[in-house]
Amino acid sequence: MKPDIKSFFQVIKLAKNTDYLGDVAILKAEAFGVKLNPKLESKMRSVVGYHPKIDLEKLSQLPPETLGYQYAQHMKINNLQPFEISPEVSRIAEKNVFSLRYSITHDLFHVLLDFDTSYAGEIGVLAFAAEQNYSRTLKLSLVMARLLYPILAPQQIPQIFANLRRGREFGKTAQFLLSYRFEENWERPLTEIKAELGLV
């Protein structure tokens, strides 16, 4: 699908004037025609319209071994905030459940897969998502990242290719992560959730 130029410029304008980071992610996905693999639609039914608010302050009070605490620490260390969407954009998100769910869970994937936010860490997460076959767009993005990231971060080349392999291996063995309701499991030990999802 060709990029929607009008939507693309709408994203750029919105990014400068919104506190809803989720709006930018959703509209960017719309502009570039990012869609879920049709074969996976039935697996996503459990998270259609599901995007509860995430309270990082509350999660940071949980025991250190829990998913919630580890996620909150990851967000704090990297100066990140959970994605939230405005009522206006929520209507678009309901039609494209994949773009919303992938945007929300992306940072969680970093925690679950033990990849940092460097180029090497990002390609590991991308390789995982591509191997899970979420979207054709992610597969194309991985091809581009494999070419560009070594140029952008030559000092990370060994780790980039190591994480590329590791991400793919996790993608083959893990359960379908996009439909997992992490938000209902914040208080569980991270190691327990990893084992349950096939990420050990």
Name the pTM for this structure: 0.85
Cα 163 to Cα 119: distance, rounded to the nearest angstrom: 10
- How many Å from the N-terminal Cα to the C-terminal Cα in the chain? 36
User: Which tokens is 1 given?
Assistant: 């699908």
Q: What is the mean pLDDT of residues 151-180?
A: 97
The confidence score (pLDDT) of residue 3 equals 46
**Which residue is listed with tokens 């991400």?**
167
Eight-class DSSP state of 189: B
pLDDT in tens, 50-95: 889 999 999 999 999 999 999 999 999 999 999 887 776 777 667 7
* 66 phi, psi to nearest 5 deg: -85, 155
Q: For the chain, which residues make up each domain, given as ranges?
A: 37-84+106-197
